[in-house]
Amino acid sequence: MEVSASASRRRNNSICIKISLLILVIFHFSSTITAIRKDVGFQIIHPCKTTVQGRYLLSDDNGYVCNAASVNSRSRCCPQRGEKFSCHGCNLLSQCCNSYEYCVSCCLNPALISKEQVLKMKVAKPTTARTYSSVFDYCAGRCRHSSESVVHENAYISDFHHCFSLSSNSSGKNSTLTEARLSGINVVVGRQGESCNSVCKSRGQSCVPNKLVVLNSCDIIQKYMSCKGSCLASVGADQPAEVVYDAPVHLNPGSCLYTETQSILSCDGLHQHTRRLCPCA
């Protein structure tokens, strides 16, 4: 009986040892697997928006410019080396650049372009037009060639024809920037009752219609004309202009005129009692 009891105890001890070893093995592998799962994770990739206009260079929405061949194939982002928000080849006064990609990169700099203003802007003129969804969308669109960059419809005014400046109205702090947009343009005061087409033709040049909008500012008009009767908003295709001094009293002699309806500005416009301010090239 004692032998049998002893053998039974040994079997029970053996079983307990095996169970303990099994628990240790399970715990060991379980903790190892858990540790592996904690250490290994999936990297979250945030894809970039990039420009597609250039043949060799790209700019991404992080503000970097890189060779198209160096773009990360998964994220579509440029390597984050070199200068962020680079303005290489840009004139910060006019906010115009000689390269599309660097124009976009420079434009993305929050110190130069206000996100709040951009997100409120319309993509097109109609009131039903959508607004920009991001600063990158604004910069990528704004930096492309526009009618403001050309003269005679087929030639660039200057090498710096990629511009990102926000559209500005007549305002003192924007006058310097506005004048910079007149690079390559001769601003000429016409004679009474003369159209800008006639004014520019007499100088062997042509009127540049898309620059009338730039001149349509009190700050600019007052630089070239006396405007002794102040600067007034008006409606007319002959603007921007100055009312001649011998005009009828109700026309405000000596006043300068600009229009808030810019779509009616024309190189053909004229009025018998005004002298026009004309962009010639």
**Domains in the chain: boundaries:** 55-165, 183-278
CA dist 146 → 3, 163, 215, 247, 281 (Å): 105, 9, 17, 38, 17
**pLDDT computed for residue 127 by the predictor:** 65
**pLDDT computed for residue 76 by the predictor:** 92
Q: What is the mean pLDDT of residues 244-258?
A: 89
Q: What is the mean pLDDT of residues 195-213?
A: 93
Out of 181-195, 200-214, 221-235, 252-266, which region has the weakest mean confidence (pLDDT)?
221-235
d(CA 93, CA 255): 30
> Does the pLDDT value for residue 52 go beyond 80?
yes
* Confidence at 24, pLDDT banded by 50, 70, 90: low
Per the model's pLDDT, the better-predicted residue between 112 and 31 turns out to be: 112
* Confidence at 103, pLDDT banded by 50, 70, 90: very high
**pLDDT computed for residue 266 by the predictor:** 92
> Does the pLDDT value for residue 240 go beyond 50?
yes
**pLDDT computed for residue 35 by the predictor:** 46
> Does the pLDDT value for residue 39 go beyond 60?
no
Q: What is the mean pLDDT of residues 233-248?
A: 90
């087409």: which residue's tokens?
197
By the 8 A CB rule, do 238 and 270 touch?
A: yes
**pLDDT computed for residue 72 by the predictor:** 92
Percent of all residues in the chain with a pLDDT value above 90, rounded to a whole number:
35
Per the model's pLDDT, the better-predicted residue between 248 and 10 turns out to be: 248
Q: What is the DSSP secondary-structure string of 225-270?
A: S--TT-EEEE--TT-SEEE-TTS-GGG-TT-EEEES-GGG--SS--
Out of 35-39, 72-76, 272-276, which region has the weakest mean confidence (pLDDT)?
35-39
Structure tokens given for 265: 């500005």
By the 8 A CB rule, do 242 and 163 touch?
A: no
> Does the pLDDT value for residue 152 go beyond 70?
no
Instruction: Report the mean per-residue pLDDT for the chain.
Output: 81
* Confidence at 251, pLDDT banded by 50, 70, 90: confident
By the 8 A CB rule, do 198 and 222 touch?
A: no
For 133: left if phi > 0, alpha if psi spans -120 to 50, otherwise beta; the answer is: alpha
> Does the pLDDT value for residue 172 go beyond 50?
no
Per the model's pLDDT, the better-predicted residue between 152 and 104 turns out to be: 104
**pLDDT computed for residue 222 by the predictor:** 85
